[in-house]
Structure 1
Amino acid sequence: MKLTTPIIAAGLSTIAGAAVAQTPVLTVYTYDSFASDWGPGPQVEVAFEEVCGCDLQFTATGDGAALLSRLRLEGTRTEADIVLGLDTNLIAAAVEAGIVAEHGLSPEGLTLPVAWDDPHFLPFDWGYFAFVHRTDMADVPTNFEALAASDASIVIQDPRSSTPGLGLLMWVQNAYGDRAGEIWAGLADNVVTVTPGWSEAYGLFLDGEADMVLSYTTSPAYHLIAEEDPGFGAAAFEEGHYMQIEVAGVVATTDVPDLAAQFMEFMISPAFQEIIPTTNWMYPAALAAEDLPDGFDTLTQPEQALIFDADEAAAVREDALATWQDALSQ
């Protein structure tokens, strides 16, 4: 008996190890706040693992633009199966770089305010960029020109590493066209600092380092619902608000394509979509307005939605970035 027990134990250990090894792993590259303890990631992981028989693993890569940079750097060596967290300002660059494969799905039930037919990416949420402020702020600016003329201090994000930062560039470019440089020159002395990503910027705002922060019209919902604090608002700008649509795609080099496709379908199902409003604090891409939590009906609603399609965004991106860098370097 003393001779056989180690042999039996070793055999059981081998069987258990084989079972673990056979569990497929799906690796999702995403931005920091999505994968954080308070973001959607933990709930999405639990919900998907209940139906996939797999191990879902999130890898946080910084902000959205940094996510694209990492995938470009890793190339075919990447361990990612899904990229989640790019937006329409970046998807043309991702396709051009050969990062993603076509998803082959025909999504139904999308509730975006615009039509969606992209063959490489599916949307999971959307929102409008806005400058968030405390409701006791006096003389809240109602457009970019008024903001530039005011003494209001703002924190923004770097468009080279952050999708909100890039979204702000596109917002100004879409609203003002050839006058974008003039607008940025006027805003330069309002900018307290430029952070690598959204989390750092919002943290500085909450610490009282600035009067306003570049975020989303949905950001006050967090304070209202999670903190029961109605003291935050999003400034309504007369020129309209630029729309962000966040997307996910299957990485072209994945070795679990069927599992990746299952995740993409799951992503636009209620099990995923119902997690988004009170964790990512955005509008879900496939959930009706009447199914949103109480409090979302109080949010700023832009009178005009601004957006470049993917090709337009790619065409104006470098010039818009150069205009921004020139203005803020003066």
Structure 2
Amino acid sequence: MKYLAFAAGVLSVSAVWAETPELTVYTYDSFVSDWGPGPAVEAAFEETCGCDLKFVGAGDGAALLARLKLEGARSEADVVLGLDTNLTAAAAETGLFAPHEVSADYDLPIAWSDPVFVPFDWGYFAFVHNADLAAPSNFRALADSDLKIVIQDPRSSTPGLGLLMWVKTAYGDEAPQIWEGLSDNIVTVTKGWSEAYGLFLEGEADMVLSYTTSPAYHLIAEDDPSRMAAAFDEGHYMQIEVAGKLASSDQPELADQFLQFMVSDAFQSVIPTTNWMYPAVTPEAGLPEGFDTLITPASTLLVPAEQAAAIREVALAEWLGALSQ
């Protein structure tokens, strides 16, 4: 009888697990790290969805699109979180994404009306350095200096791609000369943001490509005001990070529910102090103390999503050419 009771219990638990829907979200590695938004988002969403939310780290942001192109409609992902506006047009052209019906009161520097992708945070790219460093105020000054920098590969990393777009937007036809000047400053090119920032913290470089918001982490989480972002007088390139649901998802309603949850206060309130970016929708409590100390770019640079692919190809060829010399 004890055996029968035990067997019945096992069958009951198995039935519950079988009935629990699973939502798979591809994202970048730092999002799912212990210190990233993933754990808090997972716990909060599972309280409302009656589901099992499964985050899958897939390298850095630009690597997400490459993986999706490889997997196609066979992908196990229901949602992809971590592309940005430099990649959204190319992602939409794959035909792998479905429209959304999310409604939100966005607090973005630009108007948002994309029918496929939903923004969840935004920020500005910048070079982060120690406060005691006499930082350059533009790319030309950086190229003329002896400072060592770490950047990310634009083929796998959205910050790396953002840097390409930043230089190209600021300098146009002179971008190849800027890269030639910077080539001596580059210590290494990493696949993703985490590796690059780690090298900077270990003292392997004077500056690292990151965000204007990165010093907030050190100030708020570590009570350390010794990191700063260099203000460049060309302006700073803006990144808007987005998520979208796959047309092949076997959980389309749950995917829609997650995208709507993504712009809720439960999600947006954890972004500033876990992803260390500006939230796409202002949290009820506002931004945490410390964000008011961050630099404000003199001007905002951003290539429209529909033009990004063409400019990206030209900028990538220029970058590869300069670094191969």
Q: Tell me which residue corresponds to 1:56.
A: 53
Q: Tell me which residue corresponds to 1:97.
A: 94
Aligned counterpart for 1:181 among listed residues 176, 183, 190: 176
Secondary structure in 2 matching 1:189: coil
Question: In the TM superposition, what is the alpha-carbon distance from 1:309 to its structure 2 partner?
Answer: 1.1
Secondary structure in 2 matching 1:118: coil
Aligned counterpart for 1:201 among listed residues 184, 196, 202: 196
Distance 1:299-1:290 versus aligned 2 partners, 3 A rule: farther
Once the two structures are superposed, residues 2-48 of structure 1 have per-residue CA deviations (whole angstroms, 9 ceiling, x without a partner) of: xx432333223212211111000000000000001110000000000
Can you give the 5+ residue segments of structure 2 that lack an aligned partner in the other structure?
none
Q: Tell me which residue corresponds to 1:280.
A: 275
The alignment covers a number of residue pairs equal to 325
Q: Does 1:22 align with 2:22?
A: no
Q: Does 1:116 align with 2:108?
A: no
| Superposition map of 1:265-304 within 5 A | 265-287=260-282, 291-304=286-299
Which stretch has the larger CA shift, 96-105 or 124-133?
A: 96-105
Q: Does 1:133 align with 2:129?
A: yes
Amino acid in structure 2 at the alignment position of 1:193:
T
Q: Does 1:239 align with 2:234?
A: yes
CA distance in 2, matches of 1:288, 1:142: 32
Once the two structures are superposed, residues 141-175 of structure 1 have per-residue CA deviations (whole angstroms, 9 ceiling, x without a partner) of: 00011111111110000000000000000000111
Secondary structure in 1 matching 2:183: helix
Question: In the TM superposition, what is the alpha-carbon distance from 1:76 to its structure 2 partner?
Answer: 1.4
Q: Which aligned runs of 4 or more in structure 1 are off by greater than 4 angstroms?
A: none
Question: In the TM superposition, what is the alpha-carbon distance from 1:109 to its structure 2 partner?
Answer: 1.4
Can you give the 5+ residue segments of structure 1 that lack an aligned partner in the other structure?
none
State, as a whole percentage, how many aligned pairs show the same letter.
67
Question: In the TM superposition, what is the alpha-carbon distance from 1:104 to its structure 2 partner?
Answer: 2.3
Which stretch has the larger CA shift, 305-314 or 8-17?
A: 8-17
Does the CA contact (< 8 Å) of 2:154 and 2:160 recur in 1? yes
Q: Tell me which residue corresponds to 2:44.
A: 47
Does the CA contact (< 8 Å) of 2:269 and 2:283 recur in 1? no
Amino acid in structure 1 at the alignment position of 2:130:
R
CA distance in 2, matches of 1:288, 1:59: 26
Amino acid in structure 2 at the alignment position of 1:147:
L
Aligned counterpart for 1:255 among listed residues 250, 257, 262: 250
Does the CA contact (< 8 Å) of 1:128 and 1:241 recur in 2? yes
Q: Does 1:229 align with 2:229?
A: no
Q: TM-score, normalised by structure 2?
A: 0.98
CA distance in 2, matches of 1:161, 1:210: 21
